């Protein structure tokens, strides 16, 4: 199997292939000649210069590498060509299995407008908005008045915040349309935009689905992805704190996701994304027809290996799990470790890694793709690794993440690890009071250092609470001893 990707996700897939006894073929650009995924694969093929348009996005070069190595299948990972319907069709035409849904499904669900129509037909709730792209300002003004301000302008052909504009009133609409359409054209090759009602301070909740090629589809629960910057996720967790408060929500949102997946005849791993308010009302947003960056938290709480199942489904296997067989245990949190500076508007920080040490121990997982001496290139997304943890409760998982982040060492470049220290110590985060604007608001608050007395006391109390939850009774928790508090790094003595 050829892996049409790079970095930590390529390493993740190589490990799965090794466990399954399948030979791996890596591809690499000039910038990745000494990358970890290249070193780990059974075979590696150079596919072009550093520019992704001439390497990782060059579908024909990747197909040539697959043919030249005798690869029978291609796993696209996420990003790059993972949701490219033309590439999926080219694989099919070449007799090479694409690890993912069919090209027709990718095309249908890749259009947010078409996906909205399908969701409506399937009886799933959607955010009020237009059923097709708006053609001009006159039409947009009429539709916005019907929907009610504020509204969102969104690109029909893609996501990630590109081509998205918040519009508070009619006076802002025309300029916002020009900007959104122009940005969408540059990013996705299509300037088509549509309108949605803006839901203020929503949660971003997604549902993982698995479908085989015999019509059987199940969901694996939800992930909370509300901690975002520029519409890109930074911290994800499962279960959602909202589901912990409203246990009936998992069944409702899971069933909505299944209705849409079945209507699309979906096969392989996919994710349905929803917006939800504090009352538990949710609305379909879009579908990602690929493996998600944040898939480890679902693997933690369900015990189901998503990459293994992607490959088994593509090989024609039937899902051996019924919906009633899926169970969720404990809580998992993932932090995306980036080479970037949160204090400088999250500006990328490429460069050579002088020192690198990953955390370990019970309930800690690092999906990484770097090493000491590796130079983080400027040409690609600056994701270094995904740090995820599991524990019996959300409070205990937060404490475990705090410990793991403190152990993580990356020198030579700037990372966002200190941001996670602050986030995990934040009272609002610990309370699960989340929404998609949380991180923007958090970054405007005064920074609180690790030696802040209030943070120290909160840390001690949270640790005691986590221990009491694990033992089954908060009321029976023993008092925190002096040696415990004084033995913790960063606490006030």
CA distances from 204 to 322, 379, 437, 491 (A): 27, 29, 10, 34
Dihedral (CA of 40, 45, 50, 51) sign: negative
Residue ranges of the domains in the chain?
2-99, 128-197, 203-444, 453-486
CA–CA separation, 209 vs 202, rounded Å?
22
Copy the structure tokens of residue 360: 């370990």
Tally Cβ neighbours within 10 Å of residue 203: 23
2-99 folds as Rossmann fold (3.40.50)
Residue 468's pLDDT is 45
> According to the model, what pLDDT value does residue 487 have?
39
Please identify every residue annotated as catalytic.
290
pLDDT for the residue 447: 67
Convert 266-276 to b/e letters by CB count within 10 Å (16 or more is b): bbbbbbbbbbb
CATH 3.30.1490.20 at 128-197, yes or no:
yes
Residue 408: DSSP 8-state: -
Beta bridge partners of 394: none
3 state DSSP class of 93: helix
pLDDT at 493: 30
Instruction: Identify the CA nearest to 382 among candidates 7, 25, 104.
Output: 7
Contact 102, 95 (CB under 8 A): no
Sequence-distant (6+) residues with CB within 8 A of 314 are 73, 97, 98, 99, 100, 268
| 10-residue mean pLDDT series, the chain (493 residues) | 98 98 98 98 98 98 98 98 98 98 97 92 93 89 93 86 91 95 91 90 97 98 96 96 95 98 98 92 96 98 98 98 97 98 94 98 98 96 97 98 98 98 98 96 75 40 43 39 39 34
Give residue 131's pLDDT.
79
DSSP 8-class letter at 373:
T
Q: How many degrees, rounded to 5, is the angle at CA 391 between CA 308 and CA 290?
A: 30
Number of Cβ within a 10 Å radius of residue 144: 23
Give dist(CA 186, CA 194) in Å, integer: 17
Closest residue by Cα to residue 257 from 191, 210, 189 = 210
Whether 203-444 and 2-99 are alike in CATH topology: the answer is no
pLDDT number for residue 110:
93
Query: In 3D, which of 315, 94, 93, 122 has the Cα closest to residue 214?
Result: 315
What gap in Å lies between CA 92 and CA 73, rounded to an integer?
10
Question: Which pLDDT belongs to residue 122?
Answer: 97
Which CATH superfamily does the domain covering 203-444 fall into? Answer: ATP-grasp fold, B domain (3.30.470.20)
- pLDDT at position 421 is 98
């Amino acid at each position: 199997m050829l892996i049409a990707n790079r970095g930590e996700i390529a390493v993740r897939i190589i490990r799965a292939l090794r466990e399954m006894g399948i030979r791996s073929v890596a591809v690499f650009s000039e910038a990745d000649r000494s990358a970890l995924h290249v070193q780990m694969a059974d075979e590696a093929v150079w596919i072009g210069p550093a520019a992704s348009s001439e390497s990782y996005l060059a579908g024909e070069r990747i197909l040539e590498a697959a043919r030249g190595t005798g690869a029978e299948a291609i796993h696209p990972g996420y990003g790059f060509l993972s949701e490219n319907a033309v590439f999926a069709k080219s694989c099919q035409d070449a007799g090479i299995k694409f690890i993912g849904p069919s090209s027709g499904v990718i095309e249908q669900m890749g259009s947010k407008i078409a996906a909205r129509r399908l969701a409506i037909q399937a009886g799933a709730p959607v955010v009020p908005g237009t059923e097709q792209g708006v053609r001009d300002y006159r039409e947009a003004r009429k539709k916005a008045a019907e929907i009610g301000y504020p509204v969102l302008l969104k690109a029909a052909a893609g996501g990630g915040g590109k081509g998205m504009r918040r519009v508070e009133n009619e006076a802002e609409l025309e300029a916002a349309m020009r900007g959104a359409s122009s940005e969408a054209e540059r990013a996705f090759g299509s300037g088509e935009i549509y309108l949605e009602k803006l839901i203020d301070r929503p949660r971003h909740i997604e549902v993982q689905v698995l479908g085989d090629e015999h019509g059987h589809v199940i969901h694996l629960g939800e992930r909370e992805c509300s901690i975002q910057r520029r519409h890109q996720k930074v911290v994800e967790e499962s279960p959602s704190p909202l589901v912990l408060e409203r246990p009936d929500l998992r069944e409702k949102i899971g069933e909505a996701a299944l209705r849409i997946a079945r209507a699309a005849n979906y096969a392989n791993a996919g994710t349905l994304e929803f917006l939800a308010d504090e009352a538990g009302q949710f609305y379909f947003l879009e579908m990602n027809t690929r493996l998600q960056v944040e898939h480890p938290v679902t693997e933690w709480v369900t015990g189901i290996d998503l990459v293994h199942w992607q490959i088994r489904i593509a090989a024609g296997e039937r899902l051996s799990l019924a919906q009633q067989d899926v169970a969720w245990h404990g809580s998992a949190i993932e932090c995306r470790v980036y080479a970037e500076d949160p204090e400088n508007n999250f500006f990328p920080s490429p460069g050579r890694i002088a020192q690198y040490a990953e955390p370990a121990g019970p309930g800690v997982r690092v999906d990484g793709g770097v090493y000491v001496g590796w130079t983080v290139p400027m040409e690609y997304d600056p994701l270094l690794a995904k740090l995820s943890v599991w524990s019996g409760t959300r409070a205990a998982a937060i404490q475990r993440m705090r410990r793991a982040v403190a152990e993580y060492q990356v020198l030579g470049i700037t990372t966002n690890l200190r941001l996670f220290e602050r986030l995990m110590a934040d009272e609002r985060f610990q309370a699960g009071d989340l929404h998609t604007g949380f991180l923007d608001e958090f970054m405007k608050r005064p920074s609180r250092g690790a030696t802040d007395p209030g943070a120290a006391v909160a840390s001690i109390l949270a640790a005691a609470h986590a221990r009491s939850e694990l033992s089954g009774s908060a009321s029976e928790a023993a008092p925190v001893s002096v040696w415990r508090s004084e033995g913790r790094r960063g606490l006030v003595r």
